Structure 1
């Protein structure tokens, strides 16, 4: 299809930021607000089939998980942690001072982190959310995760990060617990981290009660290629995205129809051999788009979609990337596949989805800082700008404002 055909199909097929299930999530939130731990126990038993006397994971259980890791896995997590932390420190905002104006930054006091864990373990999500908070200097980090297994790699990653406040709850109820506080779990100032549809709904509803990083939807990737790409590498890039979730989306763009056809033929040939073939197949059948058009039209399409991930594997990658305005993260070239960004490149893999890249950015160290200006004007500066300020104050009929300024000019 071309760009015009794609936009019509995409807009018809893309669900609006749905509110299905909103009433159920509101009920959960209100129950946790009023009944606190009792509601958490009820929902943990209902949704996870677990009866828990205590939600908090003992510190020794986190350490045991770390000690039980094979050496290769432990070393991998530690190396990735160091790389992420080094990157985050290079982009951290610093105080500014020009004499009359200061702009200062402080770490958020208490942060809640949601780490998915209902169907799989995600130590990468621990590193991609907790490490930026550590780099910012956050003093209290409270982690919720629907992870119950003994000696698991998620707990090991938390131990590597020095986190001790970990609670085995998940879903919308975990977000509500962090937002309001319960007998077991303290109220935090901001909640970050990816989760399922109901976690996203809870974050949407509780924004304002607590800070929220973003409302992330199913994962997505846009791959812009030319005819010289490694066909099987592109196929596995698509499969890597599709195996996340049945609702994960892939967009394959090229100026050359023949290479698109070659890739889709190889997808058909290789899909049955994939361990998560069922999920990949459903994702591709419902959420895979191949678009062939002119360079100009395709560049416009990239910014229209504002994808979570953009992979540019094209001889003109520098020019193409220079024209991308909206994206969660951009990966350039054969040796920068999106999968490396999920684990070890450095920037967080918590990124805006569903076209929200038009107005938001990926999670980073600066999302864990607050800031404010300090204004210390000298007399000459005040006198220079007081007159126009008084003029506007009079026009707004705010006489006390006018007098507050006027008295300092006399």
Structure 2
């Protein structure tokens, strides 16, 4: 963990260098991913089954690769009642939040008499990647599939690495409106969703986080299929004054550190004594945390404490452009309203980031690695397309045609110009 003081000479340079450090896994995966994608595209199901044996040590066939409806129902029913209730509660809140994002179609006639507008419609099919390995992630299912269902996507295909499927994940899939589940993970799952493989039909867009292999695969298939984003390690900034309980703030910092050794947690405070109490609380909590090994590595290698006047916090947050930022201060809007670059903001002492991960209703799929400077979190709009339309009668066309012809001729595109001119009884240009 590193400490920075705003008053120190060279603070700006040192802190900027820290923020810009790469935290992604340094392994070179692109060549492996390229070969996996090519194999699945060429061989289809046979490649998926081979990779399941090689990478996952699992024997599958064309039938067992799909999770049956009976398996889903049986496993979901085995989910603990309190977890099922929490899933239903979260799904309802996520659904209600994303329903409010629904945009309106528009149709109007302008001063030239041209009828213009746009309409929104859902994607036909979406693939949701749900990670396995480190933990079960029912929240990932909900955050990716519920907005797709709200948008009206007809087919929601979920892929997840083979092995034991956690009841909570299958219960979340049921609650979210997932229509099919496949036992396939890694780059090969992305390839199957992008190109199709045996019984797995291709989709129009792939969403959901994954390993470095999954991210590299999403990068490579973009264009053949849409993707949500290229996710990096999790990150949180907590802006806090000395009136907070240091145990609360330590827990908030560790809530992201426990995701991954490459995750990042940063505290910004104007109270150096409070910062020391938070640091001590972090160390104490790490000793009893089941995920303490990963969290300790994250805090040690990528964590930071910044001592700075809180009035400067918005500028520092913008420099970091974090996935999550908490403002654990009185009148949090006073600072938050000045922030331009953040995936999600949590306002007040009783709004920890963890509620956003699960039940607040807002989406927890957010831009990482400073991408909040130019992108937004997952939303209903990721599962909708907008189509524009133009309608002209003879008079409206006559108002637009001369400028159309002039611009087409200026660009050296005579067929464009003729397309307008011919309707005016004028066959220019030759």
Partner of residue 39, structure 1: 47
Q: Bigger shift: 24-33 or 155-164?
A: 155-164
Q: 1:396 and 1:18 mapped to 2: Cα distance?
A: 47
CA contact (8 A) 2:254 2:265 kept: no
Tell me if the contact between 1:224 and 1:254 (Cα under 8 Å) persists in the aligned partners: yes
Q: Report the TM-score when normalising by structure 1.
A: 0.94
8 Å contact 1:118–1:147 — kept in the other structure? no
Distance 1:71 1:24 in 2: 42
| Structure-2 residue corresponding to 1:91 | 101
Instruction: Indicate whether 1:325 and 2:340 are aligned.
Output: yes
Q: Deviations over 1:316-348 (max 9, x none)?
A: 421211111121111111222110011111122
Residues 27-176 of structure 1 mapped to structure 2, 5 A cutoff? 27-53=35-61, 54-99=64-109, 100-149=115-164, 152-176=167-191
Any gaps of 5 or more consecutive residues in structure 1?
Answer: none
Does residue 348 in structure 1 map to residue 369 in structure 2? no
Contact in 2 for aligned 1:64/1:151 (Cα 8 Å) = no
Paired residue secondary structure (1:158):
helix
- Identify which range, 36-45 or 104-113, moves more after superposition: 36-45
Q: Give the count of matched residue pairs.
A: 409
TM-score normalised by structure 2 residue count: 0.90
- Following superposition of structure 1 onto structure 2, how do residues 178-257 of structure 1 map, counting pairs within 5 Å? 178-257=193-272
Unaligned runs of 5+ in 2: 110-114, 426-430
CA 1:354–1:266: 2 relative to 1, 3 Å = same
SS in 2 for 1:229: coil
* CA distance in structure 1 between the aligned counterparts of 2:373 and 2:379, rounded to whole angstroms: 17
Give the match's secondary structure for 1:91. coil
The answer to whether the 8 A contact 2:341-2:373 is kept is yes
**2:322 partner SS:** coil
Q: Is 1:368–2:377 an aligned residue pair?
A: no
Q: Determine if contact 1:68/1:151 at 8 Å carries over to the other structure.
A: no
> d(CA) in 2 for partners of 1:333 and 1:316?
7
Alpha-carbon offset, residue 228 of structure 1? 1.7
Residue 409 of structure 2 aligns with which residue?
A: 394
C-alpha distance in 1 between matches for 2:150 and 2:195: 26
- Is the Cα contact below 8 Å between 2:76 and 2:168 reproduced in 1? yes
CA contact (8 A) 2:29 2:212 kept: no
2:146, 2:177 within 8 Å by CA — same for their partners in 1? no
Q: What's 2:112 paired with?
A: none
Which of 359, 367, 390 aligns to 2:374? It is: 359
CA positional deviation for 1:247: 0.8
The runs of at least 4 consecutive aligned structure 1 residues that moved more than 6 Å come to 16-19
> Which one of 15, 18, 26 corresponds to residue 9 of structure 1?
18
CA contact (8 A) 1:146 1:170 kept: yes
Residues 304, 150 of structure 1: CA spacing in aligned structure 2 closer, same or farther, 3 A cutoff?
closer
In structure 2, relative to structure 1, the CA distance for the partners of 1:381 and 1:296 (3 Å cut) is farther
Determine which of 26, 36, 56 is the counterpart of 2:34.
Answer: 26
Whole-angstrom distance in 2 between the partners of 1:70 and 1:268: 32
Paired residue for 1:303, among 318, 329, 343?
318
Taking the aligned partners of 2:205 and 2:408, their CA distance within structure 1 comes to: 36
Compared CA separation, residues 264 and 15, structure 1 to 2 (3 A): closer
Separation (CA, whole Å) in 1 of partners of 2:165 and 2:217: 28
Q: For residue 287 of structure 2, give the secondary structure of its aligned residue in structure 1.
A: helix
CA pair 400-19 structure 1, distance change in 2 beyond 3 A: farther
Structure 2 CA distance for aligned equivalents of residues 91 and 126 of structure 1: 19
Which stretch shows the higher mean deviation, 361-370 or 40-49?
A: 40-49
Identify if the C-alpha distance between structure 1 residues 388 and 77 changes in structure 2 by more than 3 Å, giving closer, same or farther. Answer: same
Report the Cα distance in structure 2 between the residues aligned to 1:254 and 1:392, rounded to whole angstroms.
57
**Which deviations, in whole Å up to 9, do the C-alpha atoms of 1:65-115 show, x marking residues without a partner?**
121122212111112111111111110122111141121111111111101
Assess, with a 3 A threshold, how the Cα gap between structure 1 residues 282 and 27 changes in structure 2: closer, same or farther. same
**CA RMSD, aligned part only?**
2.0
> Structure 1 residues 321, 31: CA separation in 2 closer, same or farther (over 3 Å shift)?
same
